[in-house]
Amino acid sequence: MRLVATILLMFFLSGCSGEYILTAPDVVCPAGEKAALIFRLQRREFWRITSPQKNATVMVHLPDGATRCALTDKNGYAAVAFVVPSRSGVYQVRFYYQDVEGQELSAKGNVYSLSKDDRFVVVDMDSLPKSGLDLSSACLALKRLSQNVHLIYVSEKLGYTPAAARGLLRMRGYPEGPVVCFNKIPQWYQYRLCRQGWRVRAVKPTRTDDNLTHLYNRLKKPTYAITADDLTARTFLNIGMKVIFVGKDSVGEAMTVDSWKEVGNLPVLDTKNTPAANQDGPK
């Protein structure tokens, strides 16, 4: 009985506040084009348990000064269409919500406006080194790249919480940049079997990540992607990117390097004459 009471007390103290949580992935788009800002509103009900806040009207303050209202669906999602600023840079979007009891929420999101003359390199954040000499080598390589190109990080784990992702990048010494959520080729691809009559064959997924594919198609230029994960490398290859794979094994048509130190010395990534985007754009 005492144990049950202790557990209930821990749950109560760890969060029954009913606070709201708004998550908004980064928006990356060519300057002057239309984009969709998708976000989700949830409420923390008990400890780490969250529920979607449906039929909630959220005010969205866009970079151009306009204010829109968006109504969340049954899963807590809402979207606002807008035109990305014509000047390249990083812009902020502000969210505001107040429920019928007067409890308020304010949050921020980022919009990255890219010039058509800018180049960018996609980096798989989930496969970046976390410690040791590899961390130092990867930081130096990416810092060199970030001087002349946009680094766009992609992550399955932290793509929906870009602020937390950038905090982690900053803590480990990596240059900052937008963090885009994506899903790589499902891991069951190599193992799942489908029976048709008496024959057994491997099933290959017919789609890759729509979010990253959409971004790649809108920027319309050759794109390099860096990863140390073979499944992510295959996803990048399916989209049409030129892949640099850090590892000992070869993956399809990807260029293979043995270490992160070699990434910073690759001539294909030497973009000295590429103009850098204005990372200190209007907020």
Nearest of 228, 231, 233, 269 to residue 254 by alpha carbon: 233
> pLDDT higher for 214 or 258?
258
pLDDT higher than threshold 50 for residue 72 = yes
Residues of the chain with pLDDT > 70, as a percent, come to: 76
Residue 269: pLDDT band (50, 70, 90) is: low
Tens digits of residue pLDDT in 49-64: 788 899 999 999 999 8
pLDDT band at 281 (very low <50, low <70, confident <90, very high): very low
- Residue 93 CA to residue 62 CA, distance in Å, equals 5
Q: Is 4 helix (H, G, I), strand (E, B) or coil?
A: helix
- d(C-alpha 277, C-alpha 283), whole Å: 15
Distance between CA atoms of 55 and 24, rounded to whole angstroms? 17
Residue 207 has pLDDT above 80, yes or no: no
Residue corresponding to tokens 């606002």: 80
Nearest to 263 by CA among 72, 134, 149: 134
Two tokens, residue 177: 């940049």
**In the structure, what pLDDT confidence band is assigned to residue 9 with cuts at 50, 70 and 90?**
very low
- Distance between CA atoms of residues 256 and 253, nearest Å: 9
Distances in Å between the alpha carbon of 100 and those of 30, 33, 103? 38, 36, 8
Residue 169 has pLDDT above 70, yes or no: yes
pLDDT band at 187 (very low <50, low <70, confident <90, very high): very low
14: three-class secondary structure by DSSP? coil
Mean pLDDT is lowest, of 30-44, 169-183, 193-207, 233-247, for 193-207
Residue 156, pLDDT score: 85
d(CA 70, CA 40): 11
> Measuring CA to CA, which residue among 114, 123, 113 is closest to residue 175?
123
pTM above 0.85, yes or no: no
For residue 212, how far is the Cα from the chain centroid?
9
DSSP 189: G
Give the confidence band of 267 by pLDDT, cuts at 50, 70, 90: low
Q: What percent of the chain has pLDDT over 90?
A: 30
Asked if 47 and 14 touch (Cβ cutoff 8 Å), the reply is yes
- Rg, Å, the chain Cα set: 21
For 253-269, what is the mean pLDDT? 81
Indicate the Cα dihedral angle 218, 220, 221, 225, nearest 10°.
40
Between 196 and 29, name the one with better pLDDT.
29
DSSP assignments along 106-141, one per residue: EEEEEEEEE-TT--EEEEEGGGS--SHHHHHHHHHH
Give the pLDDT confidence of 132-162 residue by residue, as tens digits: 888 999 999 999 888 888 899 998 888 778 8
Residue 3: which pLDDT band, with cuts at 50, 70 and 90? low
Q: Where are the alpha helices (DSSP H) in the chain?
A: 2-13, 132-146, 162-172, 210-219, 230-239, 260-263
* Chain position carrying tokens 């990434």: 263
